Amino acid sequence: MLREILEEPGALRRTIDLERGRIRSVANRVVAENYEMIYITGSGTSYHAGLASQYALSNLSGLTASTLPASEFDRWVPRRFSRRTLLIAISQSGESSDILEAADAASERGIPILAVTNTPGSSLAEKADFQIFPRSGRENAVPATKTYVTQLMSLFMLSLELAMRRVGNDELSDFRERLYMAPQAAECTLKSLISKVREASRRFKDLNVIFLLGSGSNFATALEGALKLKETCNVFSEGFATGEFLHGPLRLVNEGTLVIMMATPDEIESIVELNRSLKGFGAFTMLISEGTPKVTRLSNEVDEIFTVSSGMPRIFSPLLYVLPLQVFAYYSSVIRGFNPDRPEKLRKVVR
């Protein structure tokens, strides 16, 4: 798992270099078809990538998008449509039963399919009208790490290309340049965090209730981080939209709780009071953000701060904000005596 996390910068570079042309071609075809509604589906980690991509797609291109778990797709999607509709189906293997059933349900409704799969030649790719192949390379550990970030990169690239064709905007060219800097930013982030995250994993090894909070596209990061901790550490971990945590779940916070907050620089002010409340209830707190003076001033109030490389547009920040969580899950698993590569009861592909 750790080796695959450290391979992420290279996987991101390959995805940009090898899929850029294909993604532009897909974007041209999607715009030409004039789709008005996009469903996005996946399971587990791929579902979380879908949520983050829905945020980017809707905010950048203005397209209406909705993300559903693959296992629920057939139940939730109506049989008849008045708008031209596309399904983006996301799967690492392209072979899980839920995603294939969702693809079949879409075909029955006459909905074309865009497959985003790390496995060319998979059953999902064969069923699809369009394909994008994130270039993660083979992933052996059960917890998905590099497949997740390459799915994010592929979907963010697609969102940008669609937006540039649909709405046009001088700012989007800058966004694309900054998105393409993600491999270097990921490499710097990982190098700077490995030893610090390892120490934090030791510090919090006795805490078995962990909440993760994020807003906007990092709500998806909170869900993904919680999933990684469940898979690798066998702890109770749950992800929430930051504001929603105050509507009930806050009741569960006590001195045996770790709360991990993700906040981009423009969200830091809203975290200050929340952190004080959490500390008042006895919780340990951790912050993932960027290295700004506002974040530095919180060092005496938050138990642990992990900073990622700055400069990534907020809409694409999940690419970097997930990295400390992946490393934290790995070291926490090892320190607690588990094998993160082969969690009990889990399989790489759910058939």
Mean pLDDT of 213-238: 97
Residue 168 has pLDDT above 80, yes or no: no
CA–CA gap between residue 67 and residue 271 (Å, rounded):
27
**Which of 53-62, 77-86, 256-265 bottoms out in mean pLDDT, i.e. has the lowest?**
77-86
DSSP state of 307: E
Length of the chain: 351
Strand order of the sheet with strand 236-241? Answer: 236-241, 209-214, 257-262, 284-290, 304-308
Confidence class of residue 185 from pLDDT cuts 50, 70 and 90?
Answer: very high
Specify the pLDDT at position 171.
79
pLDDT at 351 over 80: no
Give the pLDDT mean for 123-138. 96
Average pLDDT of the segment spanning 179-195: 97
* Each residue's pLDDT tens digit, 3-18: 999 999 999 999 999 9
Average pLDDT estimate for 95-107: 97
| Distance from C-alpha of 13 to C-alpha of 7, rounded to nearest angstrom | 10
Query: What tokens appear for 321 in the block?
Result: 């904000």
Please give the pLDDT value at position 3.
97
Residue 97 confidence (pLDDT) above 80: yes
Confidence of residue 162 (pLDDT cuts 50, 70, 90): very high
More confident residue, 251 or 184: 184
In whole angstroms, give the CA distance from residue 329 to residue 229: 5
Question: Residue 329 and residue 224: Cα distance in Å, rounded?
Answer: 11
The yes-or-no answer to whether 2-173 and 182-335 have a common fold is yes
Rounded Cα gap, residues 14 and 84, in angstroms: 33
Q: 2-173 — its CATH code?
A: 3.40.50.10490
pLDDT in tens, 291-327: 888 888 888 899 999 999 998 999 999 999 999 999 9
Rounded alpha-carbon distances, angstroms, from residue 206 to 109, 142, 281: 50, 24, 18
| H-run or E-run covering 14 | helix 8-33
Measure the CA–CA gap between 218 and 13, rounded to whole angstroms.
22
Q: Which residue has the higher pLDDT, 348 or 317?
A: 317
Q: Distances in Å between the alpha carbon of 21 and those of 36, 44, 236, 267? A: 24, 28, 42, 35
Give the percent of the chain with pLDDT over 70.
100
**CATH assignment of 182-335?**
3.40.50.10490
Question: What residues are paired with 114 via a beta bridge?
Answer: 88, 130
Could you read off the pLDDT of 53-74 as tens digits, one per residue? 999 999 999 999 999 999 999 9
Alpha-carbon distances of 238 from 109, 121, 198, 230, 234, rounded to whole Å: 34, 35, 21, 9, 12
Q: Token pair 């993600």 is at which residue?
A: 182
Long-range contacts, stretch 296-301, CB < 8 angstroms, 24+ apart: 298/268, 298/271, 298/272, 301/272, 301/275, 301/276
Query: What pTM was computed for the model?
Result: 0.96
Residue 348 pLDDT greater than 80, yes or no: no
* Residue-level pLDDT at 216: 94
Show me where the domains of the chain are located: 2-173, 182-335
State the pLDDT at residue 291. 84
